[in-house]
Structure 1
Amino acid sequence: MIKRRTYTLRFILEWLVVISVLVTMLIGLVSSIHVNEASLSASYLENNFRYAQKLAGNTTEVVSGMQNTVNALAMHTAEHPFSNKDLDDWFSVNKQYFQSLFIADAHGIIRQVSPSVKGILPGTQLTSPASQQALRLKQPFISEPYYGKAGHLIILVSSPIVDQQGTYQGFVGGTIYLEEENALNRTLEEHIYGDGSYVFVVDKTGRLIFHPEKKRLGDIVTMNPAVKQALEGKSGYAEIVNSKGVSFLAGYSHEKITGWGIISQTPRSVLDKSNRQLVGNLLLTALPFLLVTVAIVWLISKNISSSLSKLALYSDRSVGSGGDEPEIPTTTSSIYEVQKLYQSTRMAIRKVNRRLTQLQAEVRTDGLTGLANRKTFDAALQERIRRQAPFSLVLLDIDHFKKVNDSFGHVTGDEVLKQVAKTMLEQTREDDLCFRYGGEEFGILIDDEHVQLAWHIAERLRTAISSQKQQTGTSITISSGVANFPLHGARPVEIVSMADQALYQSKADGRNRTTLFQPKQARSRHVR
């Protein structure tokens, strides 16, 4: 017969703990990486989207300003004779926007230009596609980027010159060199960060007109998903893979005047770096705990296995000993005691569980009134907002409660609080959460999107309480404030603050009334 291999209890316990700890660490590590990656990914996507939107808005402002400048110059030229010195003065004021300003007649011949540029002088015939298009359109016009004779990537901003008789006299043009210093270039300059993030811009045809790699200017990138969305007039964010196979977290926006697409993106590799740092930190943090845990388990298992080993030895010696039964070890218990220990432990666990259940209920409940306490309310409020579930919050306060305590004592005051809590449970629905907020302040969480329902419940409760005789022999009144999520706020502190403001409005208006929160410009609704 083959003898089966056996293991000591100490060995099993130690390895069980080590494996359990390692598995727990692995699960925690994987979960942490997943959460970290999801959180960072969402953050980068949102930030890049917001930044692309900001750049699009800035670009709109700059381009509008340039067009307005050219329009004003065209109107001035149509009304007054214009010399080259006058044009120089205009350019001096607006040189942060343009590389040059010129006035052309109806045949596309330059009459004035500032500053003088080699090859572009008065009398020069304009032949660029953008100039010809400006002559044809005879209206304010911003051209697509094009390459000039000197190899500059240019945008032409033009406006027609029309005299008082409505006759077309030509146009005023302003040139913007995208690769040189100007207001538009500064708005759309390179944004490269240490993590590899950068911005690029495409025109309406999907051609790169701004990019950190200058050699890529002019490339067509319409296959990029973010570019496609931006050129379709959409704004948003997405994880994309560019033409080089690199994954990016991109935000994109559409510039409405020029039709350009603006994309801000961060390489996904930044998440890998963050995850590596996270793994390293977790391992460094967890390793000491692992060693301490193994040491503690080794000591405990040694203690347990020592007693059980003696029991095992006693059992082994007892088998086949006949009538000479060995002496029962004094350092351990018999089988009966082990069973009793198991039974006692099981009973103890049941008692502990019952006690824990009781403690949990006590932790969630106000000891005096039996309503949910402030901690339970805070958790319920946050959970509803996390689920985006519409609800209304009613905060109520017993009017002049201090007088009850001063006149009749705190014992009577406690009875009044209990009676109010009992009435709250009677006048609300089963699913409504009634809670004691603190002192003589109470509240109700009402799961319903209609704030009027909460207002009616609060009114019904107010009426019921005011009609009751209390331990004092008199009646009491309450003041209430009602606020709604998401109508009046999006965060817990906002909802509580709005309900509290409405409650204080009830107090200010004479107490014994319910006030529905309204913005400051509107009057709050209240009933007495």
Structure 2
Amino acid sequence: MYILRKITEKKKNKISLATLLIGLVSISVLLTLSILLFVSYEYKKQSLYETTLTLNLSTASKMSQTMDSLFISMRSSLKNAAAFYSVVNAADADYLDLIRKSSNYFNSIMIVDESGVIRNISPSSIRAPGEKIVTDAAIEAFKGKKPYISKPFMSPSTKQLIVFISEPLYDEKGIYRGFIGGSIYLQKDNVLNMIFGNYGLNESGSSLYVVGSDGSLLYDPNIIQIGKNISSYPIVQQLMQGKSGYTLTKTDGISLLAGYSYVPENKWGIVVYSEMSTIKAQLNIQIRQILLYSLLPFILLMLATIWFAHRLARPFVMLANIVGNMGNKEQKLLTMDQHWNREADVLTKTVVLALNGIQLKTDQLTQAAMTDALTGLSNRRSLEKTMKQWIEEQKNYSIIVLDIDRFKLVNDTYGHQEGDRVLQHLSKIVMATIRPGDLCSRYGGEEFVVLLPYTNVQDAYEVAERIRESMENSENHLKHRITISLGIAHFPSQTRNADELFVLADQALYKAKNSGRNRTLIAEVKNEYLYSFNRNN
């Protein structure tokens, strides 16, 4: 019992089984969800990286093929113009305007003769015919006498960053007659941004740039960057070596997923890239969506877990409460329903059997502690407990104190065993005489006490007389008459104190003995006695 009390005192500091189960399941679910989210995040990240790299490479390859075809068309356009010029041997300005406007390949076109003089130019506002060529690109094209593509350079006449493309002119005898050349203004509307600017890359979060054979930027969505030399970039170095592929690279501190493709026709390169931060932003959106979609199932799972945990823990909680209350208050024998869980059912039944056994033993010990072993009547402890309870409840009752006359003589003459039989005989007579709600106790030795609830002294006197007469007239194993003397007192008419009530009845008993025995007397209350009793107590 001491251990049970200690457990009860500390139970507030303990975690309940239902809470523990809910906590463990919650932690398990959260850990599982976290692991799944982490694995999903890593898998999707890797998948998205590979998909983006492959897509960027595919886009770069398609653009490379487009640019390759474009430059073949541009060269073809210049060759056709060169052949026409060789046949007609004339530099017609209207014809140049027609070539420039019909194809939209070039921002300007000019014809230079075998002496390096500009014969005609379109648009005419750029330079006047008859001037000598002065740019390094034009001079190199003039001296080379073969198809030529320049590196980006700043034109002194137009103040534009341009790329110059030319085709040589030969007459029908094969004599070199100069060249026809077209210029692309890199920082203005041109054929490159007309094609690449409408490719729709921004919708997928990707972007691109075009580099020349020397690593100079020929096209970039940011016009300010055009002309910048980025040959130090690892990916541009791969292009300058004529290679294509995809890679995870870093440019100006920004991580990129880039696909790059080499253009054989003009030895340029196209790079399609996506910023890593954009990919991570897409991943974060996907993870948030997963969390959002998982929220309702998680709540339902937790509610099911709480319900299941309470059902699983219910028998253990009941057993814990029962065990915790043992020793604190009176317990009834337990009956437990079957539980769906085998372990809980077996444990519950075992513990219930054990507790019921303990309760039966406890009840037996309690009964033994409150019962006189010889007569089977309640003992002095039970009597005092009942009197205290009735007085607290202010229940009116009478008390009869009775004693066997000359009982010492019986013990001395016949022995204590025979005296015990006399006590048992008296207890049977008393129990046969009183009502079911009355209480008879062996107070000690040969003295007995009877409590009669809701009984005044006159009625109590009649009961006492029936007991006395029954004892006097009954046959017993000793074959001679045995008498008793009795004293009566009443609560609350004679006193309101339990000890005083017993003293009054006991005094009436001894007065009956002193008056000749075998009689019943009702206690007389005197003011002097009450004053003396209260003062002494």
Measured against the shorter chain, the TM-score band is 0.5 to 0.7
* Residues in 1 aligned to 2:281 and 2:290: alpha-carbon distance in whole angstroms: 14
Q: Indicate which of 105, 121, 131 corresponds to 2:128.
A: 121
Kindly indicate whether the alpha-carbon contact (under 8 Å) linking 1:45 and 1:251 is maintained by their aligned counterparts in 2.
Answer: yes
Distance of 1:294 and 1:184 partners within structure 2: 59
1:31 equivalent to 2:39? Answer yes
Which residue pairs with 2:290 in the alignment?
282
Residue of structure 2 aligned with 1:233, choices 242, 246, 253? 242
Question: Is the 8 Å Cα contact of residues 338 and 345 (structure 2) preserved in structure 1?
Answer: no
* Contact map agreement 2:186 2:226 (CA 8 A) in 1: no
Cα distance in 1, alignment partners of residues 25 and 308 from structure 2: 12
Structure 1 pair 85/223, CA: closer, same or farther in 2 (3 Å)? closer
Q: Offset of 1:166 from its aligned partner?
A: 2.7
Listed one character per residue, the Cα deviations across residues 338-376 of structure 1 (whole Å, up to 9, x for unaligned) are: 49869xxxxxxxxxxxxxxxxxxxxxxxxxxxxxxxxxx
**Offset of residue 105 of structure 1:** 1.6
Match of 1:148 among 152, 155, 164: 155
* Secondary structure of 2:68's aligned partner: helix
Is 1:9 matched with 2:14? no
**Equivalent of 1:165, from 156, 168, 173?**
173
Calculate the TM-score normalised by the size of structure 1.
0.57
Kept in 2, the 8 Å contact 1:195–1:270? The answer is: no
Query: 2:421 — aligned with what?
Result: none
Whole-angstrom CA distance in 2 between matches of 1:59 and 1:299: 67
Out of 206, 215, 222, the residue aligned to residue 224 of structure 2 is 215
Q: Is the 8 A contact 1:62 1:184 kept in 2?
A: no
* 1:399-410 correspondence to structure 2 within 5 Å: none
How far is the alpha carbon of 1:206 from its aligned partner? Answer: 1.0
How far residue 148 of structure 1 moved from its aligned partner, in angstroms, is 0.6
Q: Which residue of the partner structure matches residue 336 of structure 2?
A: 331
Q: 2:266 aligns with which of 258, 262, 277?
A: 258
Contact conserved, 1:104 with 1:171, CA < 8 A, in 2? yes
In the TM superposition, residue 69 of structure 1 has moved relative to its aligned partner by 1.5
Q: Which moved more, 1:199-208 or 1:6-15?
A: 6-15
Secondary structure of residue in 1 paired with 2:20: helix
Q: Which of 111, 130, 133 is 2:119 aligned to?
A: 111
8 Å Cα contact 2:110-2:180 kept in structure 1: yes
CA contact (8 A) 2:93 2:120 kept: no
Residues of 1 paired with 2:344 and 2:265: CA distance? 85
Aligned to 1:224: 233
Deviations 1:173-198 (A, max 9, x none): 22222233343441233766256522
CA distance in 2, matches of 1:293, 1:184: 58
3-state SS of 2:334 partner? coil
Equivalent in 91, 99, 109 of residue 107 of structure 2: 99
Which residue number corresponds to residue 138 of structure 1? Answer: 145
Greater shift in the superposed pair: 3-12 or 263-272: 3-12
| 8 Å Cα contact 2:25-2:305 kept in structure 1 | yes
Gaps of 5+ in 2: 348-537
Q: Any idea what SS the aligned residue of 2:202 has?
A: coil
**Secondary structure, in 3 states, of the residue corresponding to 1:193?**
helix
Indicate the structure with greater helix content: 2
Alignment of 1:77-92 (within 5 A): 77-85=85-93, 87-88=95-96, 90-91=98-99
In structure 2, the partner of 1:355 is none
Task: Give yes or no for contact 2:85–2:91 (8 Å, CA) kept in 1.
Answer: no
* CA deviation after TM superposition for structure 1 residue 306, in Å: 2.4
Q: Which residue number in structure 2 is paired with residue 177 of structure 1?
A: 185
Shift of 1:62: 1.2
Give structure 1 stretches of 5+ with no counterpart. Answer: 321-325, 343-528
- Aligned partners of 2:309, 2:76: CA distance in 1, in Å? 85
Contact 1:226 1:251 in 2 (8 A): no
**Which moved further from structure 2: 308-317 or 227-236?**
308-317
Paired residues of 1:308 and 1:332 also in contact (CA < 8 A):
no
| Cα distance in structure 1, aligned partners of 2:209 and 2:46 | 25
> How many pairs align?
335
Q: What value does the CA root-mean-square deviation take over the aligned residues? A: 3.2
Percent identity between the aligned chains?
Answer: 28
Is 2:73 the counterpart of 1:72? no
Aligned match for 2:211, one of 202, 209, 215: 202
1:270 correspondence with 2:275: no
Whichever residue aligns with residue 92 of structure 2, its letter is N
Residue 278 to residue 196, structure 1, CA distance change in 2 (3 Å)? closer
Q: 1:56 aligns with which of 47, 64, 84?
A: 64
C-alpha contact (below 8 Å) 1:236/1:251 kept by paired residues: yes
CA shift digits 1:216-261 (9 cap, x unpaired): 1221212323222222212221222111x11122111111111111
**Is the Cα contact below 8 Å between 1:91 and 1:114 reproduced in 2?**
no
Q: 1:123 to 1:221 in 2, by over 3 A?
A: same
Q: Distance between the aligned counterparts of 2:134 and 2:82, measured in 1?
A: 20
Change (3 A) 1:328 1:34: farther
| Distance in structure 2 (CA, Å) of the matches to 1:89 and 1:339 | 97
